[in-house]
Chain A
Amino acid sequence: MVFSSLTFLFVFLPLCLITYFLVPSKYVLARKYVLIAFSIAFYASGEPVYVFLVAASVSITYLFSRQIEKGNVFAFVAALIVVLLPLGVFKYFNFIIDNINRLFDRSISNIDLVMPIGISFYTFQILTYIIDLYKKRVKRQGNIGLLTLYIFFFPQLIAGPIVKYADIEPALRSSNEDWDKIKDGTKRFIIGLAKKVIIANQIGYIVNQIAATDFSRVSTPIMWLASVAFTIQLYFDFSGYSDMAIGLGKIFGFEFNENFDSPYHSLSVTDFWRRWHISMGSFFRDYIYIPLGGSRKGKLRRMLNILIVWAITGLWHGANWNFVAWGLYYAILLMAEKLFLSRILKKCPKFIAWIYTFFVTVIGWTLFMWDTNSLHYMVSRIRRLFSQTGVVYPFSVSALGLNANMIYLFAGILISTPIGKWIADLIKKWFGPYTKDKQAFAVAHDVIMIGMFIICIMFLVGETFNPFIYFRF
């Protein structure tokens, strides 16, 4: 089940809210158990079998936690292995087998496994708990129910943000909901829903349509269109999801950290990764980069650490070589910035720095967008951005049937880049005097939110319009 489905909006969420708020606020634990029940139902609706896998991970973590807290290395290592094992098997086993087969010309069979949804996210959440517990940064959670809620809590279970136990622990113990939080959370949820349904899904059609096209007919402008569209789609899709997660968390009294901070406003790659998927970035920084020595052990070691962290970051995103290439690409850029590039960028006009950052980001997402293990495949896509050699019979936007979707892409670019901020500042300047009436402004704001929610529902219903033209022939 995804947040942007009618099942979630019309059935799951209302039922969850009603049940939750029917429990008097003084029964804090009962409210939490309502959330646990609904979270398990949420996961089970998409993964009825794998719900037991997550439950097993939680149970094992709970069982080991007492020993881990006491500083038992064996328990700590054993817990890490047990928690990481499903991730290794489900996500990387076939990838490893494929590479062994390729390297040694063997034909070991793959195993037919469907990867559990959200396994990369919830595994990392469990890891933060285990590591922080071992390092004595947090206290052991003695209530297995609350530990389950920390891992299973449906707003962040599938795609983050990756929440550290320390950040969420106070909210697990108390009931902090109030009308202001509910309202803010609802607004945040609707903003996320609109980002996903109105912008990301529509831009996604452009990406899918071009991806499905015979590559020999994809010209350089169309390739750029695909890459830029994917860049924008990914932002609205992922940040939309994070907004919805943060909003839902807020409704139930949980404060999640921000996961995005206008990443396409960045003026360097270093800056970009401080603004994009912040929870993942901080996980890798706190649990891998710094333990490896970070920047404290000399320039060479620092570069090596960056390389290791970004290779792992790439692999975390997917078991394909293109993700590793994507990670190493950023490692090289970050190393270059640490060594000399950031000094040059700081001296450049902001516009040039922004152009550079956006450009390398688009190239990066081009590597990211095609799941592949073929170097030739990756190189050909990147080369097509700069050369049309070999293109036969290229398609145009009209011929691909993408006219109607272009407006969403333009809107997406406007909103996500500094151009949008510049326009917003202009509007504020023009309409400044009218915004002094705070009551009217608040009413307008709320009306827009309600309107946006209705439009999202219309999009969700309308886009399934599926006329059956050739019912037999």
Chain B
Amino acid sequence: MKTRISVVVLLLIEVVCLASYFFCEIKETSELENRTLMTFDMVVSHPPAEDSIVYKATVSERFDEALKDQFFARDWVSLHYVDYTAFLDNLYVKGKRTVSNIFASDKPNSNTSGQETATDYDRWPVYGSPVLTVFPSRSYTYSKIGNLSRFEDTDYIFEGPKINPPDFVQVKEHAAQIEHIHELFPDVKFYSYFVSSLNSTKWFDEQLDFDTPDYFELIAQYMPGYMRMSRLIYQDKAKYESMFYKSDHHWCHNGYMQGYEDIYDMISEDYQLSPLKTPIKIWNFSDLYGIEYRGSRASNLQGLYDGYDEFIIPEYDLGDRECYSIDLTTGEEIPVTLCLWDTYKNGEMSKGRYHDHYIRFYCSALDKDGNDYSNEYYLIRNNGSHTGHCLLFVSDSTGRAIRDVLGSHFDTEIYLDYRNMSQVKVDEIIEQYDVDTIVMNGYGSVWTGEKYSFHFTDGFGEE
């Protein structure tokens, strides 16, 4: 190639890329990534808010981000980049089988030297670890898709497989917080429910070269004996798939109906509740409106994944009730409607390809003017119930699907999302509403994350 040609070609590439910014349409959102994109307008005149996904502190950072987000072939490049990364991921996994066990010493059982001190035992109680039997070893084949994995035969996508290690120091702190509530309010009863994720099973031990212990039992060892504990169990992949969305990280109607029943059974051990509720109707919004529900994991994969879910919602008779969002800062009670029943029944729901219907349906709290107050905690008064019990239901987003039906067994329900824990004092809530039942629900991470800790007016547990 003559001297100048290669330089000219490179210059041409630069010019084409640069010119594309002037001639291609500016995109404000990416359907593939399900997020806002940085536009040139946002660089100087309308900088994104600090809590925005595209937030960048400086003008030059925002400009560079805009160049990336508005790149003319961004979707094509991103798709191939994700695909290529998945290919490398698979390459390594296959390669690892032949390169022997370079990392064999990663197995906890192969390391015994450092496990004799008390601190180590607290963090990783290997001795006496319960053997996981409820999710016995299986051998399910999967392939990588983007940064996720997929059961090829059924098209279910999931995170991992990965080792999901609990931080037992944090678990101990959670136990201490529960103990403190118990000291302050000895009559309050405690229940906890684990929504078991795939990574807490033994199904991928071979691929991970790891012997997964029973995390639930390990955590239970730290918890006070007066707290009843239970978990979602699925014996095999088929059962798992019936309980979780294939494209989303939440449990679907079969899963949360089972969860509701399990929690109901736990509480019933202690006192009489109104009879377990069965749905008056099961709505399949996909049948009605042709919704192809692609949840969070599908949007994570952009266009790599074509699978979709049906959006099925059981409707219960919840009786006469009043719902309020409690402003986390002012404590103001704002009357709201929980769940988008009317919107969905009237066919007014969003039909975007990657709209997350689970979150849109269950996580909304609209006042009469349509303003959303979902990011607060909720007070639900069931006017038809006269049991004298008040429930504090603390949960991650999985709890939103059973919040209403479970709470309908109580005169009053306070629903608190784990992510709002730092903004409330739990003892204040218990005292104000005369709470006598606390249910904690969620994936294992809610027991191991510092941000999910209870906070108290006396500053317990805070340095």
Could you tell me which A residues sit within 8 Å of B by CB distance?
1, 5-7, 9-11, 13-14, 17, 45-46, 179-180, 182-183, 186, 190, 214, 216-217, 219-222, 387-399, 401, 403-407, 442-443, 446-447, 449-450, 453-454, 457-473
Which residues of A are found within 8 Å of B44, using beta-carbon distances? none
- Cβ A396 vs Cβ B208 within 8 A: yes
Which residue of chain B has the shortest Cβ distance to A216 in the bound complex?
A: B123
Which residue of chain B has the shortest Cβ distance to A214 in the bound complex?
A: B167
Which residues of B are found within 8 Å of A406, using beta-carbon distances? 92
- Cβ A220 vs Cβ B64 within 8 A: no
B22 to chain A, nearest CB (A): 12
A/B interface sample: 29 pairs, CB < 8 A: A6-B67, A6-B71, A11-B18, A14-B11, A219-B105, A221-B105, A387-B113, A390-B120, A394-B108, A396-B209, A398-B93, A398-B162, A399-B163, A442-B1, A446-B5, A450-B6, A453-B10, A454-B13, A458-B81, A461-B81, A464-B65, A465-B78, A465-B302, A466-B53, A467-B35, A468-B35, A468-B299, A470-B296, A473-B359
Which residue of chain A has the shortest Cβ distance to B87 in the bound complex?
A: A404
- Cβ A458 vs Cβ B80 within 8 A: yes
Q: A397-B103, A442-B1, A458-B81 are in contact. List 19 more A-B contacts (CB 8 A).
A: A5-B64, A7-B64, A11-B18, A186-B7, A387-B113, A392-B108, A393-B108, A395-B163, A399-B162, A399-B163, A404-B89, A407-B88, A461-B77, A467-B32, A467-B35, A467-B301, A468-B299, A471-B53, A472-B375
Which residues of A are found within 8 Å of B34, using beta-carbon distances? 467-469, 471
B436 to chain A, nearest CB (A): 27
- Chain A CB within 8 A of B165 CB: yes
Expressed in whole angstroms, the Cα–Cα distance for A399 and B159 within the complex equals 11
Which residue of chain B has the shortest Cβ distance to A390 in the bound complex?
A: B114
- Cβ B10 vs Cβ A7 within 8 A: no
- Cβ B210 vs Cβ A396 within 8 A: yes
B378 to chain A, nearest CB (A): 14
- Chain A CB within 8 A of B257 CB: no
B46 to chain A, nearest CB (A): 19
Bitwise, B22-54 to A at CB < 8 A (1) or not (0) is 000000000011111000000000000000010
Which residue of chain A has the shortest Cβ distance to B147 in the bound complex?
A: A401
**Complex partner residue of A394 from B88, B111, B356, CB under 8 angstroms:** B111
- Chain A CB within 8 A of B69 CB: yes
Expressed in whole angstroms, the Cα–Cα distance for A454 and B76 within the complex equals 13
Which residues of B are found within 8 Å of A447, using beta-carbon distances? 1
- Cβ B105 vs Cβ A388 within 8 A: yes
Could you tell me which B residues sit within 8 Å of A by CB distance?
1, 3-7, 9-11, 13-15, 17-18, 21, 32-36, 53, 60, 63-65, 67-69, 71, 73-74, 77-78, 80-82, 85-86, 88-89, 91-93, 96, 102-103, 105-106, 108, 111, 113-115, 117, 120, 123-124, 147, 161-163, 165, 167, 207-210, 249, 296-297, 299-302, 356, 359, 363, 374-375, 396-397, 400, 417, 419
Which residue of chain A has the shortest Cβ distance to B374 in the bound complex?
A: A472
Which residues of B are found within 8 Å of A214, using beta-carbon distances? 167
- Cβ A407 vs Cβ B91 within 8 A: yes
Which residue of chain B has the shortest Cβ distance to A221 in the bound complex?
A: B103
Known A-B contacts A5-B64, A14-B18, A403-B92; A182 and B111 likewise in contact (beta carbons under 8 Å): no
A42 to chain B, nearest CB (A): 11
Expressed in whole angstroms, the Cα–Cα distance for A387 and B105 within the complex equals 12
A-B contact count (CB 8 A): 202
Which residues of A are found within 8 Å of B96, using beta-carbon distances? 398
- Cβ A221 vs Cβ B106 within 8 A: yes
- Cβ B296 vs Cβ A394 within 8 A: no
B24 to chain A, nearest CB (A): 13
- Cβ B33 vs Cβ A467 within 8 A: yes
Known A-B contacts A465-B82, A468-B53, A471-B34; A388 and B64 likewise in contact (beta carbons under 8 Å): no
- Cβ A179 vs Cβ B106 within 8 A: no
- Cβ B77 vs Cβ A458 within 8 A: yes
- Cβ A179 vs Cβ B108 within 8 A: no
B247 to chain A, nearest CB (A): 12
- Cβ B10 vs Cβ A450 within 8 A: yes
Expressed in whole angstroms, the Cα–Cα distance for A1 and B69 within the complex equals 17
Which residues of B are found within 8 Å of A463, using beta-carbon distances? 81
**Complex partner residue of A219 from B5, B53, B106, B301, CB under 8 angstroms:** B106
Expressed in whole angstroms, the Cα–Cα distance for A461 and B78 within the complex equals 7
**Complex partner residue of B67 from A10, A397, A405, CB under 8 angstroms:** A10
- Cβ B300 vs Cβ A467 within 8 A: yes
Known A-B contacts A393-B123, A403-B93, A468-B35; A449 and B69 likewise in contact (beta carbons under 8 Å): no
- Cβ B6 vs Cβ A183 within 8 A: yes
Which residue of chain A has the shortest Cβ distance to B248 in the bound complex?
A: A469
B87 to chain A, nearest CB (A): 8
Expressed in whole angstroms, the Cα–Cα distance for A149 and B39 within the complex equals 34
Expressed in whole angstroms, the Cα–Cα distance for A472 and B10 within the complex equals 43
Which residue of chain B has the shortest Cβ distance to A450 in the bound complex?
A: B9
Which residues of A are found within 8 Å of B60, using beta-carbon distances? 1, 7, 45-46
B56 to chain A, nearest CB (A): 11
Minimum-distance CB pairs A-B, first 5: A462-B81, A468-B35, A392-B124, A446-B6, A6-B67
Which residues of B are found within 8 Å of A217, using beta-carbon distances? 165
- Cβ A459 vs Cβ B120 within 8 A: no
- Cβ B17 vs Cβ A457 within 8 A: yes
- Cβ B53 vs Cβ A462 within 8 A: no
Expressed in whole angstroms, the Cα–Cα distance for A399 and B199 within the complex equals 11
- Cβ B92 vs Cβ A461 within 8 A: no
Which residues of A are found within 8 Å of B209, using beta-carbon distances? 396, 398
Which residue of chain A has the shortest Cβ distance to B114 in the bound complex?
A: A390
Which residues of A are found within 8 Å of B103, using beta-carbon distances? 221-222, 396-397
Which residues of B are found within 8 Å of A466, using beta-carbon distances? 33, 35, 53
Determine which residue in B32, B71, B301 has the highest number of CB atoms from chain A within 10 A of its CB, and name it.
Answer: B71
- Cβ B356 vs Cβ A471 within 8 A: yes
Which residues of B are found within 8 Å of A14, using beta-carbon distances? 11, 14-15, 18
A98 to chain B, nearest CB (A): 22
Which residues of B are found within 8 Å of A454, using beta-carbon distances? 13
- Cβ A391 vs Cβ B165 within 8 A: no
- Cβ B3 vs Cβ A180 within 8 A: yes
Which residues of A are found within 8 Å of B356, using beta-carbon distances? 471
Which residues of A are found within 8 Å of B74, using beta-carbon distances? 461
- Cβ B7 vs Cβ A461 within 8 A: no
Which residues of A are found within 8 Å of B5, using beta-carbon distances? 446
- Cβ A392 vs Cβ B163 within 8 A: no
A454 to chain B, nearest CB (A): 7
Expressed in whole angstroms, the Cα–Cα distance for A1 and B58 within the complex equals 11
Determine which residue in A186, A216, A442, A454 has the highest number of CB atoms from chain B within 10 A of its CB, and name it.
Answer: A216
B395 to chain A, nearest CB (A): 11
Which residues of B are found within 8 Å of A390, using beta-carbon distances? 114, 117, 120
Which residues of A are found within 8 Å of B108, using beta-carbon distances? 392-394
Which residues of B are found within 8 Å of A219, using beta-carbon distances? 105-106, 111
Which residues of A are found within 8 Å of B81, using beta-carbon distances? 458-459, 461-463, 465
Expressed in whole angstroms, the Cα–Cα distance for A219 and B115 within the complex equals 13
Which residues of A are found within 8 Å of B417, using beta-carbon distances? 473
Which residues of A are found within 8 Å of B106, using beta-carbon distances? 219, 221-222, 394-396, 399
Which residue of chain A has the shortest Cβ distance to B19 in the bound complex?
A: A10
Which residues of A are found within 8 Å of B64, using beta-carbon distances? 5-7
Expressed in whole angstroms, the Cα–Cα distance for A14 and B96 within the complex equals 44
Which residues of A are found within 8 Å of B78, using beta-carbon distances? 461-462, 465
Which residues of B are found within 8 Å of A468, using beta-carbon distances? 33-36, 53, 299
Which residues of A are found within 8 Å of B15, using beta-carbon distances? 14
A164 to chain B, nearest CB (A): 29
Which residue of chain A has the shortest Cβ distance to B38 in the bound complex?
A: A464
A197 to chain B, nearest CB (A): 12
